[in-house]
Structure 1
Amino acid sequence: MNRLANKVAVVTGGNSGIGFATAKLFVTEGAHVVIVGRRADAVDAAVAELGHRAIGVTGDMADPQTHDKVAALVAERFGGADIYVANAGINTIASSDQVSHASFDAHFATNTKAVFFGVQTIAPHMRDGGAILLTSSIASNRVFDGHAVYAGTKAAIEAFARSWTLEFKSRGIRVNVISPGPVDTPILSKLGIASSDRPAFESAVAQSIPLGRLGRPEELARAALFLVSEEGSFVNGINLIVDGGRSLV
């Protein structure tokens, strides 16, 4: 339908999972997409699948130089950006008494500080009337075992979004948050769940979701498209929960 025809979008963490599904849908809808990821091989593979309307940047969002690199590329190649999706994030499950200083700092560096300075750096290069979307989590408002630090990082960016909604009002830039529930992405393996344990894990999680299954990355991508496109043109400052009803249980 070309709902993003000729728009320029940046998607951090765009080489896998929800980020990749979002980048893929944006390309399908006519956008030029810049994806950012930490692993060059994964970024290259994602760009190859996304096609000629995609460009990859390899870098750690916790590193300020990555923000500068992205902003410079967007300015030089496209003259600016219309959409910024701050999606990159990490999550290591651990009870609070087991969290190290290094792990705490890593979570806030990637999930919180990177979002703040990513937006700060790209904002001067965003066109008026654009859209910023931050990926949070239902963990910011629901208590899950071993998620205290992760939840804190996500609660912080939701506060950023509320402030930015007002700070960017003179430019007509909308700022929204999307909060996924359990989604079937590669991050499940990164949480330490062995492949042999996946079926039992997924079954247990599915039982806690009213719709009876995990979400799919493509479903989150469609929600993201609504929030950044003209279809969501009067939606501003909200946190859209996309969790199959998990937050109600």
Structure 2
Amino acid sequence: MNRFTNKTILVTGGNSGIGLATAQAFAAEGARVIVTGRDQTALEQAAATLGAQALAIRNDASSVAGARELASTLSAQGIRLDGIFLNAGIAKLAPFETVDEALWDQTFNVNVKGPYFQIQALLPLLNKGASIVINGSINAHIGMPTSSVYAASKAAVISLAKTLSAELLPLGARVNVVSPGPVETPLYGKLGMDQATLEATAAQIQSQVPLGRFGTPAEIASTVLHLVAPESAFIVGTEIITDGGMSQL
């Protein structure tokens, strides 16, 4: 299929993991893809896999100034958007009693403030019928120990999508959420844990998934593409959970 021929799609955090897999899936269906991230080397590698039309932009997803700068960069090049996947995020787990203000601020800056002001900055660049998808998380629903800050941030963006859906529909834009369960991505190497703790945590999480495995980035990407594609035009303000049945236990 080529559902996205002549469409332009922005994927934040598109240089690895779910973001890169989603960008590749969009490109494979004909889209011109723009990816952002903070690692310049990873961005260049991602762009090389996405084709000659792809654009890679270094950007700080936690910064309001960064959000406005990205919008200005795209506007200066005459770029308008048909879809946005707000995927850039951070996940650091910590017992409640050890959480400090720095962890709270970092998590909410990247996971909540960043997407909020990025959408605001990009509004003038949206084509009629544009679709916005925010990356949520099953952690917003399951009450997993040590995830209090991360889970709260993802609950916030799920709520945000519902509210923005009502506000942005008159402008012709839809907002939805995809909430993955555990997925095999580099994010699991950035949880702030030593290797032994990380392996034990991963094994414990996997034991809670009825399918008996982590998901793959490509499986999440397929849901994002569905939410951006024309066939999902009647899906508005909705969260699609892709967690291998984890939330059903």
Q: Which TM-score band (shorter chain)? A: over 0.9
Report if aligned partners of 1:202, 1:214 keep a CA contact under 8 Å in 2.
no
Provide the residue aligned with 2:157 in structure 1. 157
- After TM superposition, give the deviation of residue 85 of structure 1 in Å: 1.1
Pair 61,170 (structure 1): closer, same or farther in 2 beyond 3 Å = same
Letter of the 1:32 partner, please give it: R
State, as a whole percentage, how many aligned pairs show the same letter: 38
Q: How does 1:48-63 map to 2 (within 5 A)?
A: 48-63=48-63
CA distance in 2, matches of 1:55, 1:113: 24
- After TM superposition, give the deviation of residue 203 of structure 1 in Å: 4.3
Provide the residue aligned with 2:233 in structure 1. 233
CA distance in 1, matches of 2:163, 2:196: 44
Report if aligned partners of 1:35, 1:43 keep a CA contact under 8 Å in 2.
yes
Q: Secondary structure at the match of 1:168?
A: helix
Provide the residue aligned with 2:100 in structure 1. 100
CA distance in 2, matches of 1:197, 1:50: 35
Letter of the 2:238 partner, please give it: I
Letter of the 1:8 partner, please give it: T
Provide the residue aligned with 2:125 in structure 1. 125
In structure 2, stretches of 5+ residues that fail to align are none
Provide the residue aligned with 1:205 in structure 2. 205
Structure 1, residues 102-144: CA drift from partner, whole Å, max 9, x if none? 1111111100000100000001111111000000101111111
Structure 1, residues 44-79: CA drift from partner, whole Å, max 9, x if none? 111112221211111211122321232123223343
Letter of the 1:217 partner, please give it: P
Letter of the 2:170 partner, please give it: S
CA distance in 1, matches of 2:69, 2:151: 29
Letter of the 1:84 partner, please give it: I
Provide the residue aligned with 1:143 in structure 2. 143
Report if aligned partners of 2:135, 2:178 keep a CA contact under 8 Å in 1.
yes
Name the stretch that deviates more: 236-245 or 58-67: 58-67
CA distance in 2, matches of 1:203, 1:106: 27
Name the stretch that deviates more: 69-78 or 29-38: 69-78
CA distance in 2, matches of 1:186, 1:193: 13
Provide the residue aligned with 2:35 in structure 1. 35
Q: How does 1:162-241 map to 2 (within 5 A)?
A: 162-192=162-192, 202-241=202-241
Provide the residue aligned with 1:64 in structure 2. 64
CA distance in 2, matches of 1:146, 1:174: 33
CA distance in 2, matches of 1:105, 1:184: 26
Report if aligned partners of 1:205, 1:213 keep a CA contact under 8 Å in 2.
no
Report if aligned partners of 2:59, 2:70 keep a CA contact under 8 Å in 1.
no
Pair 2,129 (structure 1): closer, same or farther in 2 beyond 3 Å = same
- After TM superposition, give the deviation of residue 172 of structure 1 in Å: 2.1
Letter of the 1:26 partner, please give it: F
In structure 1, stretches of 5+ residues that fail to align are none
How many aligned residue pairs are there? 249
Letter of the 2:161 partner, please give it: A
Letter of the 2:98 partner, please give it: Q
Provide the residue aligned with 1:112 in structure 2. 112
Pair 1:88-2:126 in alignment: no
Pair 101,194 (structure 1): closer, same or farther in 2 beyond 3 Å = closer
Q: Secondary structure at the match of 2:77?
A: helix
Name the stretch that deviates more: 194-203 or 114-123: 194-203
